[in-house]
Amino acid sequence: MTTVTNPILPGCYPDPSICRVGDDYYLVTSTFEYFPGLPIHHSRDLVSWTQIGSAIDREGQLDMAGVPSSGGLYAPTLRHHNGVFWIACTMVDSSDRSRGGNFLLTATDPAGPWSDPIWLEGGGIDPSLFFDDDGRMWVHGTRLVLDPPWHDQTEVWVRELDPQTMSFVGDEHILWNGALLGAVWAEAPHLYKIGDFYYLLTAEGGTDLHHAVSVARSEHVTGPYVGNRANPVLTHRNLGRTADIVGVGHADLVEAVDGSWWAVLLAMRPYGGYHYNLGRETFLVPVEWEDGWPIFAPGVGQVSPTLEVPGSAAVQLAPQAGPVGPDDPRWTSLRGPVTAFATPQGDGWRLALQPVTLAQRLTPTFLGVRQQHVDVDVTATIRPRTRLPHEHVGLVLRQSEGDHATVYVAPGPDGGMVVRAAHRRSGDETVLAETPLELSSDGTVTLMVRARGQEYSLAVETPSGTETLAVVDGRELDPVTVGGFLGLWMGVYATSNGQPSDATADVVTFDYRPGA
């Protein structure tokens, strides 16, 4: 038996989908506007997970330029059939509704390469895939009802897809509107054939406090489906906002090698009040079957902070801590590949200062990692080669293009260097503090973001020690306050703020270390 600490993927890894191939488990999550998109994780025991690739990882594969924060890649489903891995996903662009939609990706190796998107006709969100025993392939998803009896009522539909032509065949069937009257956003549908029944697993209630897991079954893939009288079969909404784990939903089932059943799902861990800066994370719960129905977290009925996984002697891997080198898969950029602005150099990067800023819906010079710990120290030793006041290089605590905090270095008005702390709120930026800076003998400076609960200190290393320029309230950066679906990212950035520049900066080292 191995004691597992939930979440199994801490930090912003929402909407998990899982499949097993032989002794191997594979898992994918949403990434929204971040790039590479749709990370693929691998495990042999449901306990220790390693990222092996990303499904969207090359220039030209998917255009996300202009996609606003919390847009982009939503709710992927990962499946395997006859030697081929499949992902179904939604591309959301609220700024241009003519772009995006549901698409499929395929690969023979889950580490990649993955195909270019194969776009599906029709609208809606949260597409999923089911391969029946007779080899037929069914696509299902969620969309808003055109003339709903209540606000935000959705319907789950299913239709057969010809995998040779990638086109729909036959009639569409409406399967579900939610387990409860008045249920909003019955979404994230997954179909399974288990024993004599087809099972439909859905989320409903919206992906926040009232999120829930419901299940229905039928003798036919196209229905009619009958809901479980125990619905919702898993939720924490009855526990309120003071619970340690909230927002439980968006589940996917997998049968383990030993015949046991498990579900991965998303949930949040609030702290400092009802705020979840780490975003929606991936959790694991056991599942048992009684009277032909799945029982989630049997005997407990809740997602536990720890649980026992039988038949595994593995030690759960904690989130990586320490130096983050150029080949670390945790690095992400925004809406496009890093090759546009960064080159690996030793243990770090050489960054080009682009006119694009963090406030724009493009691909700024930004490299970041998810915040995975409540208490954490992130430091970057930077060698700025800036000459003009509009050339900035520094660290950023990012929620969105409209909301982020920075500590950065820039040339000052007297020819020297300064370091500033700034906070951008709802699109308006305020400089919180400024101090003169003397670079070290090798031309470098070390900047820091230090998180202790909801206090984020923006600091710089000086010859006399660490100097804190400002402390930002993390509750002003989390999705509860500012909206959206994302947790926080911490990273390096550089910009010439709309002006042409040939300046560069070196990120000599970048270090992510949980706080003591």
Q: How far is CA 468 from CA 48, 411, 417, 424, in A?
A: 37, 20, 17, 18
Q: What token pair was written down for 435?
A: 């101090």
Query: CA–CA separation, 218 vs 226, rounded Å?
Result: 6
Spell out a b/e string for 430-452, using b for 16 or more CB atoms within 10 Å of the CB, else e. Answer: eebeeeebeeeeeebbbbbbbbe
Q: Which residue has the tokens 């030690």?
A: 315
**Locus of tokens 């600490």:** 5
322 and 284 Cβ atoms separated by less than 8 Å: no
Report DSSP letters for 97-113, one per residue. Answer: TTS-EEEEEEESSTTSP
CA-only gyration radius of the chain, Å: 23
In angstroms, the CA 152 to CA 142 distance is 12
Q: Which residues contact 21 (CB under 8 A, 6 or more apart)?
A: 80
Residue 101, φ and ψ in degrees, nearest 5: 125, -165
Q: Is 109 a catalytic residue?
A: no
Q: Is 15 known to be catalytic?
A: yes
Say which of 15, 33, 45, 377 is annotated catalytic. Answer: 15
Residue 161 pairs in a beta bridge with 137, 168
Contact by Cβ (8 Å): 38, 31: yes
User: d(Cα 468, Cα 466) in Å, to the nearest integer?
Assistant: 6
Question: What are 92's two structure tokens?
Answer: 């959301």
- Count of helix runs (H) and strand runs (E) in the chain: 1, 39
Dump the DSSP string for 6-66: SPSB-SS--S-EEEEETTEEEEE---BTEESEEEEEEESSSS--EEEEEEE-STTSS--TT
Set 155, 187, 252, 401: catalytic member: 187
Q: Is 51 exposed, middle or buried (0-12, 13-18, 19+ CB in 10 A)?
A: middle
The residue whose two tokens read 């949980």 is 514
- How far is 118 from 125, CA to CA, in rounded Å? 15
Question: Which of 149, 142, 158, 134 lies closest to 224, judged by CA?
Answer: 158
Cα gap 349→366, rounded to integer Å: 11
Whole-angstrom distance, CA of residue 259 vs CA of residue 2: 17
* DSSP secondary structure code for residue 69 in this structure: T
Which residues form the catalytic set? 15, 187
